[in-house]
Amino acid sequence: MGDSKAVIARIGGDEFAILLKDLDGIEEARKKAEDLLIKLREPYQVSEHIVYSSFSIGVSFYPFDADTKEELFHRSDQALYYGKQQGKDTIFFYQDIN
């Protein structure tokens, strides 16, 4: 994730959360999400099979989208599920769905 400090956690099933601090704004967050999506889309090999995966990313910002960590995760989840409804390999920001 570059020079930014990141905390990565598995939320459950196939959902993960990444907490980034000290970003310079929405454009840096968008760039990091796009870079991550590109990396995650790269095929990988399992035994003799090549595997392709798709991903969706939901993004929310503290304190703009939420005041508590629970609200922040909920807002990211809302953006994620909105993106999943739009198709595969999406990035949606909470502020863009409201």
The length of the chain in residues reads 98
CATH number of 6-97: 3.30.70.270
* Furthest C-alpha separation in the chain: 48
Q: Which DSSP symbol is given to 5? A: -
φ/ψ of residue 50, rounded to 5:
-95, 130
Is 75 in contact with 96 (CB distance < 8 Å)? no
Q: Helix or strand or coil: residue 98?
A: coil
Give the per-residue pLDDT at 79: 94
Structural domain boundaries in the chain: 6-97
Kindly tell me if the per-residue pLDDT of 23 is higher than 60. yes
Of 51, 75, 47, 45, the closest CA to residue 63 belongs to 75
Q: How many beta carbons lie within 10 A of that of residue 29, not counting itself?
A: 18
The model's pLDDT over 58-92, given as tens digits with 9 standing for 90+, comes to 999 998 999 999 999 999 999 999 999 998 899 99
pLDDT of residue 61: 92
